[in-house]
Chain A
Amino acid sequence: MSASPASVRPERRRPMGPGGRRRWLPWALLAPGLLLLLLLYVLPLGALIPLSLSEQLDRFSLRTVFTGRIQTYGEVIALYGPVLGRSLRFAAASTGLGLLIAYPLAWTIAFRGGRWKAALLGLVVLPFFTSYLVRAIAWTTLLADRGPVLALLHGLGLIAPLQHLGVLVDGRLLNTPAAVIGGLTYNSLPFLVLPLVVAMERIDPLLLDAAADLYASPLRRFLRVEWPLSQPGLVSGVLLSLIPAAGDVVNPRFLGGPNERMIAGAIENLLLVQRQAPQASALTLLLMLLISVTAALLLRGRKLQELPLP
């Protein structure tokens, strides 16, 4: 969701200094986006704060009374703390796994892609032309007990070792932690690859030449030049992958079982089934807080223009 403001072309190009006549211009360009954020994010989130401190009059009316009941937070932490922890663990695991796949992929596309670069990037994004929901349901077919993936593992004699590693549970792949993490990884891959490619493309080839001139081995060149200079892409990729994964609804629902539930499903159930709006609000705010803290830690000390956000 990004609003693209109409481009405003100044008639004469003049550097804008402090006290310049067009100091309002950047604000005008930012306004649609800021307004959207305010209306669709900040205000609703703000409205949740009093709701989370209220009590419901009865289960089937929407009326609540503000009582400043702070205990609700303690209750949801006690009840849903484990689910919240699991959500963050799954999100971290899928992001880590995604990076292991995305880094070499991005490196290859950026430095060895040549004229195929655009096509390779297209391939990375291609799965996203089908709906997110349909993809999750398609995975249930692929990972099914009698599906192609398990048949392949069986043929390769990998069932016992994978069972030993805990990837398979009771000889199955579907409805396991591995399937949920795999689904989350699959979804976050493009969000990791694209910023990394952008960051690597920004690396000045002269620096690589200089490193080679100074007798750096390819590995050393990677560790001293490519890796540090691609960090901004790493940070934005992690942000774009971690946050949606932590709040994902679809993957745990279709690829997990009752022991793989994540926090978004719990919030939905609290609101729609158990009809506990204050508890659902408290849990939502806690999740937002955790995510904001994580994002703040990741972005600490970085200038925004460094971040190659796609």
Chain B
Amino acid sequence: MRQPPPSRPPLASTRRTFLRRSILAATAAVAGPSLLAACGRRAPDSGATGERRLVISNYPIYIDPSEDGVPGSVERFSKQTGIAVTYREDLNDAQTFFAKVQPDLAAGRPIAQDLVVVPYWLAERLIRLGWVEALPLEQVPNARNLMPSLRNPSWDPQQRHSLPWQSGIAGIAYNLEVTGRELKGVDDLFASDLRGKVGFLTEMRDTLGLLMLADGQDISRPTWDTAQASFDRMQKARESGQIRAFTGNDYQDDLLAGNFAACIAWSGDVAQLVLEQPKLRFLVPETGGVLWADVMVMPRGARNRQAVAEWLNWVYDPENAARIAASVQYISPVQGVQEILAADPATKALATNPQMFPDAAMQQRLRVFGPLSSEEEARFDERFARISQA
């Protein structure tokens, strides 16, 4: 089931990567939860005497791979700690992943993974359901390197159950070749000259959040009432043919191909895509951008707590975090990464990239989409699905 990570140059991405990504996403979308059910559950470790192990699930292409004889992070961690890591890139879609692990977790059975990277809102759901355990943070001294702005988030106020993997910004990407003009903000997505060339994300919080910010709403405390105007605007745009598609990760292909003049997009992706298509731009609207985080959580019943602690401590070491950041180009949650990147001529340019290291002015604009109760989330999901799916 596990595939070797794709080799790719550290600062460039290839078409192959995108194709692979969209095929993976498509496969997951089509096959649904059954796709990965084949990955059977492991027998528990034979106590402390046996080989030490760690099983991690993450999104594809979200860590530096081993290539050209240079070992990637997973390999280096294994060498340094003697822990055998099974690193699966089997997360494509958080909703599908949830559907897959739900039967076991709901019944109180452990799943194969010791650690899973999920979007913060899913972490919040898992925490609320009691399906994740408190992380062994007392054994993670490097956790103090966590950026202050990411500490004690609304989805985990005590900072006990989750630790960020990477964060990023949902903003607007556009292709100057197609738009023929610079864009300023969310209103441009509804401009008549871009009709049928605008992409929205299926990730509800990013799409709705950006529109709500443009409406002057406080997205840190979203309510059904404050969201209606934005939902209505979205629905009108969909019905009139303004929106060409609601996509997941595959928006990148449409952006590169020129099918999208503009779309809601994620910062790290655009930072990489611009190397391939210099006419691409990414903007965080004046009205605000949506800051999100993918976080590491430990599913209930995880067998290798000690290995989890060592992994967390290792990836929160600034040196190690800098390597990962240079490869994936998202916002690293670890303090000290910027200085390390600035010190190396090869990565110097990244250290001044505002999408990787938001400055004070940028930070002022960023907001996190707040938690929704289960009932609210159901209503939001249903309305969003009717706009994007039906």
Contacts and interface: CB of A to CB of B under 8 A. Distances in A.
A79 B30 contact: no
A38 B245 CA distance: 39
Interface stretch (A43-51, A59-67, A116-124, A211-219): A59-67
Nearest to A86: B390
Contact of A272 (B96, B238, B390): B96
Contacts of A275: 99, 378, 381
A59 B253 CA distance: 34
Interface in B315-331: none
Interface stretch (B20-28, B179-187, B265-273): B20-28
A253 B26 contact: yes
Given A144-B258, A169-B196, A258-B243, A269 B23 contact: no
Contacts of B243: 257-258
Contacts of A144: 257-259
Nearest to B377: A59
A250 to B, nearest CB: 6
A261 B386 CA distance: 10
B103 A258 contact: no
Given A137-B26, A253-B29, A265-B389, A272 B259 contact: no
| Overall SS of chain B's interface | helix
A266 B387 CA distance: 11
A147 B257 contact: yes
B188 interface: no
Contacts of B257: 141, 144-147
B347 to A, nearest CB: 33
B390 A254 contact: no
Interface string B168-207: 0000000000000000000000000001110000000000
B381 A274 contact: yes
Contacts of B385: 269-270, 273-274
Contacts of A83: 390
Contact of A133 (B27, B259, B378, B386): B27
Interface stretch (A12-20, A170-178, A225-233): A170-178
B71 interface: no
B151 interface: no
Interface in A171-218: 171-172, 174-175
Contact of B26 (A254, A261, A268): A254
B389 A269 contact: yes
A127 interface: no
B390 A82 contact: yes
15 contacts: A61-B106, A141-B257, A144-B259, A145-B197, A146-B257, A175-B196, A175-B245, A175-B259, A257-B245, A258-B238, A258-B389, A259-B238, A259-B239, A272-B99, A273-B385
Interface of A: 58-62, 79-80, 82-83, 133-134, 136-137, 140-141, 144-147, 169-172, 174-175, 249-250, 253-254, 257-259, 261, 265-266, 268-275
